[in-house]
Amino acid sequence: MRLELKLRKKVSAEDALPFYKLPLKTLIHVLKITKNDESKGFCKNRLYYIASRLKVPPSVLSEKLAKRTFIYSLSFDWIEKALDVLIEMNVASDRILRDLWVLKYHHETVHERLLKVKNLGIDNLYPWMVRCSEDILNRYITISTETKDILGETNSKQTYLANRLNVSVDTVQEMCFKIPALKAIRVTKVKHFLDFLESEGFDVEEIANKPRVLSASQKTVKKRLDTLRNLGLKEINLNVLCRSKKDFKKYCESIESLTDQDT
């Protein structure tokens, strides 16, 4: 109870609530660091300091800090410099709030990683870019650069898809409403998939009428195309290519059955 009273002197009752769930040893450590920060003139407490820097309600941040108590094991200078870099690089506050682990990294590492991405023309920065491996970061950079090249001045996946399929953006939006999976598909996949389907003899009008195929795996579609052509089919419905594994198997068996009857 005495610890709770001490904590309430540092933060409001509402903001302190999540900290009451912490083990006694951890709570004592939090209070010790808070007292030290205040005595040295750093801040009243880290909760309000970080909340003010990120411009988020303390009550929202307190839930996060109570689960990320490593914040109270870092020096104030370390946190301040890491936040300086993240804010300077325009990393959105809500992204930092969701990924406070980024504050564990030295500010020079944070700056180096984010600058590497920004110098390649990618302005949409995330904290995970600091934490991920070089391979993952380089893959993201490659995809983002390719996406930018594909979109050109359209700067929109829906506009790009509309242009490729010779339909309106409204039509594409309707497609996405009916097939939610289309919203999550990367531009690079859309581009390569459309190129593949056109090379296989499907025209854009046919693809526009049966867009569900774009949400399927290109590898699976290729395999199924080969299977159907080996069965002697020349006219292939795109919807067949994205059926469930069970339904596609039944479809192939029905074709084989008809072929056997003809012979």
Q: Which residues contact 63 (CB under 8 A, 6 or more apart)?
A: 18
d(CA 206, CA 168): 15
Give the per-residue pLDDT at 123.
Answer: 87
CA dihedral sign, ordered 17, 18, 19, 21:
positive
How many other C-beta atoms are found inside a 10 Å radius of the C-beta of residue 229? Answer: 12
- Domain contains 173: yes
Give the per-residue pLDDT at 27.
Answer: 86
d(CA 45, CA 240): 61
158-167 average pLDDT score? 93
- Domain contains 152: no
Answer with the one of 29, 52, 73 that is the final residue of a domain: 73
Number of domains making up the chain: 2
- Domain contains 82: no
- Domain contains 33: yes
Do 66 and 162 have their domain in common? no
Closest CA to 65 of 54, 184, 174, 125: 54
Confidence of residue 10 (pLDDT cuts 50, 70, 90): low
199-207 average pLDDT score? 94
- Domain contains 195: yes
Answer with the one of 42, 73, 104 that is the final residue of a domain: 73
- Domain contains 110: no
Confidence of residue 9 (pLDDT cuts 50, 70, 90): low
Give the per-residue pLDDT at 24.
Answer: 86
Full domain range(s) for residue 257: 157-262
Answer with the one of 37, 54, 73 that is the final residue of a domain: 73
- Domain contains 28: yes
- Domain contains 129: no
d(CA 204, CA 153): 22
